[in-house]
Chain A
Amino acid sequence: MLGRTLREVSAALKQGQITPIELCQKCLSLIKKTKFLNAYITVSEEVALKQAEESEKRYKKGHSLGDLDGIPIAVKDNFSTSGIETTCASNMLKGYVPPYNATVVQRLLDQGAVLMGKTNLDEFAMGSGSTDGAFGPVKNPWSYSKQYREKRKQKPHGEKEDSNWLITGGSSGGSAAAVSAFTCFAALGSDTGGSTRNPAAHCGIVGFKPSYGLVSRHGLIPLVNSMDVPGILTRCVDDAAIVLGMLAGHDPKDSTTIQDPGKPFMLSSLTDVSKLCIGIPKEYLVPELSSEVRSFWSKAANLFESEGAKVIEVSLPHTSHSIVCYHVLCTSEVASNMARFDGLEYGHRCDIDVSTEAMYAATRREGFNDVVRGRILAGNFFLLKENYANYFAKAQKVRRLIANDFVNVFNSGVDVLLTPTTLSEAVPYPEFIKEDNRTRSAQDDIFTQAVNMAGLPAVSVPVALSNQGLPVGLQFIGRAFCDQQLLTVAKWFEKQVQFPVIQLQELMDDCSSVFEIEKLASVSLQQ
């Protein structure tokens, strides 16, 4: 049952094959068994069971709230959840319990979804590995998959098994791992430069970043307000569309959401792609791109072409400036957004009380990690009166050029762009931490982050396993607010590629000894 998609399990609930409480308990049990993945910062067991009970009552009365009623979901720990600790994986917010729900959380709960817990991330979502949080790194469930381990057995390797686990990507790595390891059916991530799509690609699931302004940011603790978008992580494109349908639409609490009333997102099954024009941006063919990913990308293009779609090479000429431009804009907004964490109203406060200024300084030094402090420092430098015109204002102009690149391409008749999501498949943790956070982020965001500058919808769809038995994802980018069209194309593609299901069962049994977790004898994913 846990291996099913959201749509399938929703049907099972409606048909009474399983009850919301049973489903919730199965997920809770699996969360405990996969605790070593470190996907969750907080497991809201009591709340989840209570919500499941409520849901069960509704099903018994025949008053189900719809597709999401009784469905276990997880939420990245940078969305405010009323009564549930929200930490952003930072010492600064340890123990902070928001008094309100983020709009997206509230909308899911209003639909009867069952909140299993809050998922791990890089501190304040600053990172691309889910390795730089106050609660430790997230481990990629694929590290323990039959597919990956069988490939590894063929190769001689001396390192210890347990130190060589793979990163999930990030920053929404906890959400990606939670969905990938079957502990929930959908999870919310956030996406500022690729934070939803990147871990989705590494964990073999669908990661969707909606158009900026389609989904409310109220309650999402910001990284970069002008680029942040709540992301959706699911096991298939249809599921992402169901969740989007619940989340999309104007929110009076977020002035940047569009005024149009939300409409349900029902994806039709595309049978004919011959009227589609797929653009392949030539600037995305970078030397760092692994040959395997490159070959999947080109196979995907061929697939569309062979089915009658028009596939053309396009140019996004300002792509190479995107990372630097992003760095300036991101750190500047970070410097501003992090100013509120001063130890006065909420969150961590140091013991020093000689003066307000000394208290601020020590609180912020203790509360933030090096990555956050580094970005605050850089951002404040860019915002200084003497630097503003040279850095921030210039970066804004470059951002406009980057956004215009996309507009020009779409105006030329391209419906959807097809690109890689990541340079390669997930790498082992020791390899990942060889580079610092900034370098990694700059490398890993290369295909995803220009989309955030332009506010466009984009989705990463798992396409196949690499030689190492690890998932590779490809990205589709759509026109602004043409999210439905984008997902329709992604759904067609998903159907063609038939990405394999992760095989976790026997390996998790093994892991139990390796990681000294509680016994996994009763894990049964194939019920």
Chain B
Amino acid sequence: MAAPMLRGCCLGRHWALACIDGGSRHGRGAATGFTSSGKRGQSFVAQQPHITAQKSRKGEHKWEAVVGLEIHAQIASNSKLFSGSQVHFAAPPNSLVSFFDASLPGTLPVLNRRCVEAAVMTGLALNCHINKKSLFDRKHYFYADLPAGYQITQQRLPIAVNGSLAYSVCVGKRWRQVITKTVRIKQIQLEQDSGKSLHDELRSQTLIDLNRAEGQLRVDANISVHHPGEPLGVRTEVKNLNSARFLARAIDYEIQRQINELENGCEILNETRSFDYKLGCTVPMRDKEGKQDYRFMPEPNLPPLLLYDTASLPAGADPQQVINIDQIREQLPELPSETREKLIQQYGMLPEHSFALLNEVGLLEFFQNVIKETRAEPKKVTSWVLNIFLGFLKQQNLAVNESPVTPSALAELLNLLDRKVISSSAAKQVFEELWRGKGKTPSQIVSERKLELMQDAEALERVCHAVMEGHPQVVMDMKRGNPRAINKLIGLVRKATHSRADPTVIKEILEKQLSS
């Protein structure tokens, strides 16, 4: 997107910060743990505050946990939040650093319009109230990767507040039961990212990378436990969780740890902890300074950020200088919950399948393109896309747009299957061949490798007859009433036909020949 800037030129990079406040809710029964697994790719659900409760082993007291998440998400923009330097993942260290990024004296922040638009759109998607006036603040602390000695953020009056996100969680046996929950969003704020420190313990050195493109998502979880009806407990903060799975494990661990501490008569300290993903536990961070006072102060170099809607837009305003909330609302794409609901309604899809389709970038579009071109049942298409296609992608660690198999090719393959031209096991062979990417169509592969089902009934009858002749013992078993014997015969016939015969047809012929 060409990014005309608010109040001037340069662009900037940015972290949108969403504070999700789980609030206090009552859970019952044993901690169920996280309800989605990384394998199934539902990292979406990982952003929920997870509330759990557990019966005390000693007394009858129940425990209730409160979880609040601070989610740092990098905005997809070409340049940084307050400077014109580019944003690239995995760029060489310190190669994308402007004078402002290095905090050279006299440099000033200039807000990136694209980041503001992204923050507004995020706010709208999360049902937030968009503040037409928001402010920037300085948060001070000394750290080697924070060259200015402060971070520009939105503490007092953030760009969006009071939102909510409804989401579905799959629970129960095999995650077949779907329940809907709502999480409250406290605020969304634009925040400058700090740099990255690389500690070299061996040489007692710290290396600093001011590119600051660390990860796309980072979550800090605040966790406390208390007895229902009593005041909230002392919270701990588990910092820098960078995957949904670790977030879930860290929260579960921390809840259990706090309960254990309290039941053993210990106290919970208000401290920051980190998650050791190898040991699966949280450990206190070495924070020598103790309680930080960030000495917040208004950022004097950025005027208040003013947003407009169509009603409040000043007449004759330069569109390059103003941001219209209503315009952004119109650009809002269909949100995932809506899309999932449509998939369930339109194709009779299982809810967990609708999640899977949306959690992989480009997968939904791929699915829809296949649907357009095939006569196969949607359920069949879903099963092929999620089990076989996605399986192959994952196995080779490819993105959907890197797939060697096009939606058209898969659609054609599913048509052949649907018309019973090939068997499903043959279809898998064709798919494997397509994946190798030799540029052949499914039909070409089927005819080259002679994978068509045998359509010649007489020929098949001859094969069946020959097989029965060759295995009198099995035929005897069958006649004695062993139901499994027929399967053996079917298998032998399929083998003899190189899997080109339809098992149901074989069965019919065998039964006919036996009864005759």
Residues in B with CB closer than 8 Å to A340 are 103, 105, 147-149
List the A side residues contacting B138 at CB < 8 Å. Answer: 336
Give CA–CA (A397, B208) in the complex, Å: 40
Cβ-neighbour of B106 out of A220, A250, A342, A385 (below 8 A): A220
| Contact present for B9 and A253 (CB under 8 Å) | yes
**Complex interface residues of chain B between 86 and 118 (CB less than 8 A to chain A):** 99, 102-111
Chain A contacts of B110 at CB under 8 A? Answer: 252-253, 255
Q: Mark A216-257, 1 if CB is under 8 A from B, else 0.
A: 011111101110000000000000000000000011111110
Taking a contact as CB atoms closer than 8 A, the residue among A88, A332, A342 that contacts B142 in the complex is A342
Partner of A218, one of B108, B140, B150, B206: B108
Could you tell me the distance between the alpha carbons of A384 and B297 in the complex, rounded to whole angstroms? 10
- State how many angstroms separate the Cβ of B209 from the closest Cβ of chain A: 13
Q: Say yes or no: A357 contacts B142, CB within 8 Å.
A: yes
Question: Do the beta carbons of A255 and B108 come within 8 Å of each other?
Answer: yes
Interchain CA distance A221-B103 in the complex, whole Å: 11
**In the complex, chain B residues 149-172 whose Cβ is within 8 Å of any chain A Cβ:** 149-150
* Cβ–Cβ < 8 Å partners of A410 in chain B: none
Stretch at the interface among A2-10, A95-103, A142-150, A461-469: A95-103
Q: Tell me the bound Cα distance from A512 to B109 in angstroms.
A: 48
**Is the beta-carbon distance between B149 and A333 smaller than 8 angstroms?**
no
A345 CA / B105 CA spacing, docked (Å): 11
B509, CB-defined interface residue at 8 Å: no
Q: A346 interface residue, CB < 8 Å from B? A: yes
The reply to whether the CB of B295 lies closer than 8 angstroms to some CB of chain A is yes
Number of B residues, CB within 8 Å of A: 36
Q: Which residue of A lies closest to B144 (CB)?
A: A356
Question: What 8 A-B pairs come out closest when comparing CB atoms?
Answer: A339-B149, A252-B8, A252-B9, A383-B295, A225-B300, A226-B300, A221-B105, A219-B106
Chain A residues within an 8 Å CB radius of B104: 80, 98-100, 345-346
Q: Which of B8, B300, B321 has the most CB of A within 10 A?
A: B300
Q: How far is the CB of A123 from chain B (nearest CB, A)?
A: 13
Given A253-B9, A255-B8, A255-B302: A380 and B106 within 8 A (CB)? no
Which residues of A does B touch, CB under 8 Å? 79-80, 86, 88, 93, 96, 98-100, 102, 217-222, 224-226, 250-256, 259, 332-333, 335-336, 338-342, 344-346, 356-357, 360, 380, 383-385, 388, 392
In the assembled complex, how far is the CB of residue A397 from the closest CB belonging to chain B, in whole angstroms?
Answer: 13
In the bound complex, CA of A344 to CA of B94 (Å): 14
Contact present for B301 and A225 (CB under 8 Å): yes
Contact B111 A385 (CB under 8 A): no
> Does chain A have a CB within 8 A of B10?
yes
Q: Tell me the nearest residue of chain B to A396, going by C-beta.
A: B298
Q: What residues of chain A lie closer than 8 Å to B102, measured between beta carbons?
A: 345
Is the C-beta of B375 less than 8 angstroms from some C-beta in chain A?
no
Partner of A253, one of B8, B103, B150, B300: B8
A356 to B200 alpha-carbon distance, docked (Å)? 13
The verdict on B435 contacting chain A, using a C-beta distance below 8 Å, is no
A80 / chain B contacts, CB cutoff of 8 Å: 104-106
Verify A383–B303 contact, CB threshold 8 A: no
A-B contact count (CB 8 A): 113
Q: Which of B10, B108, B208 contacts A217 (CB 8 A)?
A: B108
Residues of A within 8 A of B149 (CB): 336, 338-340, 342
Q: Name 9 extra pairs, CB < 8 A, besides A341-B105, A357-B142.
A: A99-B99, A226-B300, A250-B8, A256-B300, A256-B301, A339-B148, A344-B147, A356-B144, A380-B295
Is B106's CB under 8 angstroms from A98's CB? yes
| Proximity bits, B315-349, A CB within 8 Å = 1, else 0 | 00000010000000000000000000000000000
- B295 and A255 form a contact (CB under 8 A): no
Contact indicator A388/B296 (Cβ below 8 Å):
yes
Taking a contact as CB atoms under 8 Å apart, the answer to whether A333 and B300 are in contact is yes
Q: List 10 A-B contacts (CB under 8 A).
A: A98-B106, A225-B301, A226-B300, A253-B10, A340-B105, A340-B149, A342-B149, A345-B147, A360-B142, A383-B296
Q: Given the complex, which residues of A lie within 8 Å of B150, measured CB to CB?
A: 336, 339
Q: Is the CB of A254 within 8 A of B206?
A: no
Q: A7 to B105: give the CA distance in the assembly, Å.
A: 33
Q: Check: B7 CB closer than 8 A to any chain A CB.
A: yes
Are B108 and A254 in touch, CB under 8 angstroms? yes
Which of B's residues lie within 8 Å of A, judged by CB? 5, 7-10, 99, 102-111, 138, 140, 142, 144, 147-150, 206, 208, 288, 293, 295-297, 300-303, 321
Query: Within the assembled complex, what's the spacing in Å between the Cα atoms of A251 and B99?
Result: 16
Q: Write out the residue numbers on chain A whose beta carbons fall within 8 Å of the beta carbon of B109.
A: 255
- Bound together, the chains give a CA A356 to CA B300 distance in angstroms of 29
Q: Are A218 and B142 in contact (CB under 8 A)?
A: no
Chain B residues within an 8 Å CB radius of A219: 106-107
Measured in the bound complex, the distance between the Cα atoms of B302 and A410 in whole Å is 27
CA distance A340 to B8 in the complex (A): 25
Contact (Cβ within 8 A) A221 B296 = no
Establish whether residues A252 and B10, one from each chain, have CB atoms under 8 Å apart when the complex forms. Answer: yes
Residues of B within 8 A of A79 (CB): 106
Q: How far is the CB of B318 from chain A (nearest CB, A)?
A: 8
C-alpha spacing A322/B303, complex, angstroms: 23
Question: Are A344's CB and B295's CB within 8 A?
Answer: no
Q: Which residue of A lies closest to B205 (CB)?
A: A353
Bound Cα distance A79, B104 (Å): 12
The listed residue (A100, A217, A345, A384) touching B103 by CB distance below 8 A is A345
CB distance from B480 to the nearest CB of A (A): 86
| B45–chain A nearest beta-carbon distance, Å | 36
Distance between A210 CB and nearest chain B CB, rounded to angstroms: 17
- Please, which residues of chain B bring their CB within 8 A of the CB of A221? 105-106
Q: Let me know if B301 and A383 touch, CB within 8 A.
A: no
Report the bound CA distance from A338 to B149 in whole Å: 8
Q: Write the nearest CB–CB distance from B440 to chain A, whole angstroms.
A: 56
In the complex, the answer to whether A253 meets B108 with C-beta atoms within 8 Å is yes
Instruction: Name the distance in Å between A382's Cβ and chain B's nearest Cβ.
Output: 9
Query: Given A339-B149, A383-B295, are A256 and B303 also a contact pair (CB < 8 Å)?
Result: yes
| Contact present for A255 and B106 (CB under 8 Å) | no
The answer to whether A332 and B297 touch (CB under 8 A), given A253-B110, A340-B148, is yes
Inter-chain CA distance A340–B144, complex, in Å, is 10
Q: Which residue of B8, B99, B144 is within 8 Å of A344 (Cβ)?
A: B144
For A79, the closest partner residue in chain B by CB is B106
Q: How far is the CB of B310 from chain A (nearest CB, A)?
A: 22
Residues of B within 8 A of A380 (CB): 295
Chain A positions within 8 Å of B10 at CB level: 252-253
| A255 to B300 Cα, complex, angstroms | 10
Complex Cα spacing A339 to B103, Å: 10
Which chain B residue lies CB-closest to A385? Answer: B293
Query: Of residues B110, B144, B208, B297, which shows the largest number of chain A Cβ atoms within 10 Å of its Cβ?
Result: B297
List the B residue with the shortest CB-CB distance to A124.
Answer: B105
Q: Nearest-CB distance from B193 to chain A (Å)?
A: 17
Question: Which of chain A's residues have a CB closer than 8 A to the CB of B144?
Answer: 344, 356
Please, how many angstroms separate the alpha-carbon atoms of A340 and B142 in the complex? 9
CB distance from B406 to the nearest CB of A (A): 46
- Using Cβ atoms and an 8 Å threshold, which residues of chain A touch B296? 383, 385, 388
Q: Which residue of chain B is the closest to A361 with respect to CB atoms?
A: B142
Are A222 and B106 in contact (CB-based, < 8 A)? Answer: yes
Which residues of B lie under 8 Å from residue A252 when comparing CB positions? 5, 7-10, 110
- Alpha-carbon gap, A505 to B463, bound state (A): 125
Give the residue name and chain of the B residue nearest to A216 (CB): B108
Separation in Å of the A378 CB from the closest CB of chain B? 12
User: In the complex, A357→B111 CA distance in Å?
Assistant: 31
Highest count of chain A CB atoms <10 Å: which of B104, B105, B147, B288:
B105
Shortest Cβ distance from residue A262 to the other chain B in the assembled complex, whole angstroms: 15
Closest residue to B299 on the A side, CB-wise? A225
Give Cα A14 to B103, complex, Å: 42
Q: Are B111 and A255 in contact (CB under 8 A)?
A: yes
A361 to B81, CA, bound (A): 30
Task: Report chain B residues within 8 Å CB of A86.
Answer: 105
Residue of A nearest to B105 (CB): A221
Q: How far is the CA of A226 from the CA of B302 in the complex (A)?
A: 10
Q: How far is the CA of A80 from the CA of B104 in the complex (A)?
A: 10
* Residue numbers in B under 8 Å from A218 (CB-CB): 106-108
B8 contacts A333, CB within 8 Å? no
Closest A residue, CB atoms, query B102: A345
